[in-house]
């Protein structure tokens, strides 16, 4: 099926800054942030949300907005946006210092300055007016993580919140209930620290404002403002609108994972790819796969095909230099690392998607730059998705993007699970943990504790709620998962790809399924991290590995349990030990020796009511929600979620008695 998406044009406002004419949403964000504590900018991809976020920091210093903390969900985006901020600073001749803070940057600052993390972060706040960082570091700071070993528990958090009273979250729609709870708790602590009058302003740049977040803010009496762009379509030229997206030819093509997915499509269409670049020789292309291992295999396929094209790679297992070099290649192979805002000058795009969000997000990579004759995109979708599109569009339909995106979100893909019960289930635990830490220095923080209890009760859940914390005394690993922005990653290990100089932390289960690797010592891993100027990811498993090859197909990996899974409560988050992995990896015995006694956050669903397919269908679980079939000593197979996914599953199932059958909605 072929669909033509019209060009998209954003309406100019009445305001110019220097020689730059602003569009409506940029002006409205600037105005709104002066009067509202929380603002959402939902302008379309390519419409200048970065500049919208920067204007208050550049020009509202007297209102305390001149020092900003900008949170980006990936390190790739931190690098990209730090460059963008620097570009706009020079464009407007603004004199301010910009700091880039990722895990790798923090490690290099510590090494260069010879200070510990706490001192380095204090110095960093003193040196920089705008900080481009990630929400993980933001969470570690505001959750008092760096102050726990001694001294004043809240000193660093209060230093940063006093300094940065303008806090921006980019691409916030990609996050889920645990991240929303963490941010709400940060807002509560901010208001408690600074008082309602001087509390920080929060700007969320998002494709859609989160319903859970909006409901909580409204219930707490915190007024928020949602801002949209104003658009016209298919104009040839305009004095009142700026073109933000060019006309795009979209091909919807059936592709099933059971038949090889995007890998198979690329292999079968090598000649088509070659012909496109031959017909349009100045083209640049991007292929986005759902899996890093699929992307690696596609790179190998294209390099072996000798298409006469330069091939680049940009995945989570690609080193910084190779990612940077990839930007100059004709055809880049990527994963979700490029989903969230990284700007590519391309006119040819092939992608697979997981849901409405990734479908729209990836489509938004195309059509943003001029200089090309044509803009072609091939979206690989399952049969049922293509059939859904056929209900609303005939072949060669022409449509404007706003209507098209609305159809994709509301009519084609099912609406994803919002996990509305997560906040009431786990929010009070999150805030009570902080309350507990502050109470250790009650004399010093008495006023702060009282204010925080009030703010957290309004925003996150009844605080302090000691009964919930007491329930977790025997399940301490749950607290560790709960407090981190994206979970503690208990099954993640340090991995190095020597071919691309990549260092990262990755799920052991996924690694075993998609690659072969050798285990190395912790000292060797530390040396590699140091030589590559990458952060060293210490892990509870104590496993450090180097990839030796990527498998040509996924290897079967199974999980077993050495006891009876129903000895602890089913349908509830519990800490469990005693898991083993079944895999043909040559060092699986050594791996299992590390796993057997590792405490893991788990939620085990009652197998008399659910299997994995039923759980996914009934509760509309997200595509990347991880559920594993686990065989216990009774030879019974259970659906099991680990880490933050376990807490999310708990928020759906915990109210069910394990000897009765309940269904969603009852």
pLDDT tens digits, residue range 592-623?
A: 999 999 999 999 999 999 999 999 999 999 88
Q: How would you list the strands of the sheet with 544-550, edge to edge?
A: 502-507, 492-497, 544-550, 515-520
DSSP string, 163-188: H--EEEEESGGG--HHHHHHHHHHHH
Q: What is the pLDDT of residues 632-664, one digit of tens each?
A: 999 999 999 999 999 999 999 998 856 444 333
Three-class SS string for 200-245? CEEEEECCCCCHHHHHHHHHCCCCEEEECCCEEECCCCCCCEEEEE
96 band by pLDDT with thresholds 50, 70 and 90: confident
Do the beta carbons of residue 111 and residue 74 sit within 8 Å?
no
Tell me what the mean pLDDT of segment 531-559 comes to.
91
Q: Which of helix, strand or coil describes residue 381? A: strand
Structure tokens at 83: 């460059």
- pTM of the entire structure? 0.92
pLDDT at 659: 41
* Helix count and strand count (H, E) for the chain: 26, 29
Domain with CATH 3.40.50.300 in the chain: 15-230, 246-412
pLDDT of residue 208: 77
pLDDT at 487: 85
Structure tokens, 241: 């609108």
Query: Any idea which of 106-120, 505-519, 641-655 has the lowest mean pLDDT?
Result: 106-120
Which tokens in the block code for residue 445?
């923080």
Give the pLDDT of residue 431: 96
Q: What is the mean pLDDT of residues 171-178?
A: 86
List, for residues 462-492, the tens digit of each pLDDT value.
999 999 999 998 898 999 999 888 888 899 9
Measured in residues, the chain has a length of 666
Contact 321, 260 (CB under 8 A): no
Q: Which CATH class is domain 15-230?
A: alpha beta
User: Rounded CA gap, 507 and 518, in Å?
Assistant: 15
Q: Name the one residue in this structure whose structure tokens are 């602003």.
A: 22
Q: Is 284 helix (H, G, I), strand (E, B) or coil?
A: coil
367's CB contacts (< 8 A; 6+ apart) are 5, 7, 46, 245, 246, 247, 248, 375
Q: What is the pLDDT of residues 15-35, one digit of tens each?
A: 999 889 999 999 999 999 999
When computed from its CA atoms, the radius of gyration of the chain, rounded to whole angstroms, is 25
Q: Report residue 191 as tokens.
A: 């208001």
Cα 541 from Cα 658, distance rounded (Å): 32
Question: Cis peptide leading into 337, omega within 30 of 0?
Answer: no
Q: Does domain 246-412 have CATH number 3.40.50.720?
A: no
Kindly compute the dihedral angle of the four CA atoms of residues 636, 639, 644, 645, in this order, to the nearest 10 degrees: 180
What is d(CA 414, CA 380) in angstroms, rounded to the nearest whole number? 17
131 pLDDT above the threshold of 50: yes
Q: Parallel, antiparallel, or unpaired: how do β-strands 68-71 and 38-41 relate?
A: unpaired
- Phi, psi (5° rounding) for residue 531? -65, -35
pLDDT of residue 663: 37
Task: Give me the sheet containing 68-71, strands edge to edge.
Answer: 98-101, 130-133, 68-71, 166-170, 201-205, 38-41, 224-227
Do strands 397-399 and 2-5 pair parallel, antiparallel, or not at all (unpaired)? Answer: parallel
d(CA 556, CA 623): 19
Mutual orientation of helices 446-459 and 211-219 as an angle, nearest 10°? 120
Residue from 580, 586, 524 nearest 549 by CA: 586
């Amino acid at each position: 099926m072929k669909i033509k998406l019209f060009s998209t044009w954003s309406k100019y406002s009445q305001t110019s800054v220097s020689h730059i004419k602003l569009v409506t949403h940029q002006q409205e964000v600037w105005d709104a942030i002066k009067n509202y504590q929380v603002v959402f900018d939902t302008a379309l991809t390519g419409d200048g949300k970065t500049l919208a976020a920067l204007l208050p920091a550049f020009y509202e210093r007297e209102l305390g907005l001149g020092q900003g903390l900008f949170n980006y969900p990936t390190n790739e985006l931190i690098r990209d946006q730090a460059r963008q901020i620097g570009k706009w600073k020079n464009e407007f001749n603004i004199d301010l210092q910009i700091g880039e803070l990722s895990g790798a940057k923090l490690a290099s600052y510590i090494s260069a300055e010879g200070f510990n993390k706490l001192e380095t972060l204090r110095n960093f706040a003193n040196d920089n007016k705008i900080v481009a960082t990630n929400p993980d570091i933001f969470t570690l700071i505001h959750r008092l993580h760096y102050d726990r070993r001694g001294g004043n528990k809240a000193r660093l958090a209060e230093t940063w919140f006093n300094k940065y009273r303008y806090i921006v979250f980019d691409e916030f729609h990609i996050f889920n209930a645990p991240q929303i709870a963490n941010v709400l708790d940060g807002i509560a602590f901010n208001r408690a620290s600074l008082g309602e009058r001087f509390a920080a302003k929060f700007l969320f740049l998002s494709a859609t404002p989160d319903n859970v977040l909006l409901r909580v803010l409204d219930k707490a009496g915190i007024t928020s403002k949602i801002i949209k762009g104003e658009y016209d379509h298919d104009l040839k030229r305009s004095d009142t609108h700026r073109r933000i997206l060019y006309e795009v030819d979209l091909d919807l093509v059936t592709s099933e994972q059971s038949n090889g997915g995007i890998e198979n499509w690329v292999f079968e269409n090598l000649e088509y790819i070659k012909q496109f670049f031959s017909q349009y020789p100045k083209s640049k292309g991007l292929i986005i796969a759902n899996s890093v291992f699929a992307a690696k295999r596609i790179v190998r396929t294209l390099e072996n095909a000798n298409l006469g094209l330069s091939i680049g790679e940009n995945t989570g297992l690609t080193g910084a230099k190779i990612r940077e070099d990839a930007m100059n290649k004709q055809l880049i192979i990527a994963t979700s690392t490029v989903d969230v805002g990284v700007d590519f000058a391309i006119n040819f795009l092939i992608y697979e998607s997981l849901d409405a969000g990734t479908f729209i997000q990836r489509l938004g990579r195309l059509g943003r730059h001029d200089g090309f004759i044509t803009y072609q995109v091939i979206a690989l979708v399952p049969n049922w998705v293509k059939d859904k599109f056929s209900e609303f569009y005939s072949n060669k339909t022409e449509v404007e993007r706003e209507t098209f995106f609305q159809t994709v979100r509301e009519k084609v893909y099912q609406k994803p699970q919002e996990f509305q019960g997560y906040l009431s289930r786990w929010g009070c635990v999150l805030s009570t943990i902080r309350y507990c830490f502050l109470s250790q220095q009650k004399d010093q923080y008495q006023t702060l504790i009282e204010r925080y209890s009030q703010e957290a009760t309004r925003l996150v859940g009844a605080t302090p709620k000691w009964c919930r914390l007491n329930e977790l005394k025997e399940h301490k690993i749950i607290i560790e998962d709960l407090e981190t922005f994206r979970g503690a990653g208990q099954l993640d290990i340090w991995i190095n790809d020597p071919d691309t100089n990549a260092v990262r932390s990755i799920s052991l289960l996924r690694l075993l399924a998609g690659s072969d690797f050798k285990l190395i010592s912790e000292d060797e891993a530390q040396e590699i991290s140091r030589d590559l100027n990458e952060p060293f990811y210490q892990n509870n498993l104590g496993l450090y590995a180097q990839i030796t090859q990527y498998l040509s197909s996924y290897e079967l990996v199974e999980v077993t349990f050495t006891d009876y899974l129903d000895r602890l409560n089913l349908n509830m988050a519990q800490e469990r030990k005693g898991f083993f992995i079944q895999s043909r990896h040559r060092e699986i015995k050594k791996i299992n020796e590390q796993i057997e006694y590792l405490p893991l956050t788990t939620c085990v669903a009652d197998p008399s009511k659910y299997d994995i397919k039923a759980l996914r269908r009934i509760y509309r679980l997200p595509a990347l929600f991880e559920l594993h079939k686990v065989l216990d000593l009774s030879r019974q197979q259970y659906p099991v979620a680990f880490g933050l996914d376990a807490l999310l599953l708990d928020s759906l199932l915990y109210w069910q008695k394990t000897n009765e059958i309940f269904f969603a909605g009852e």
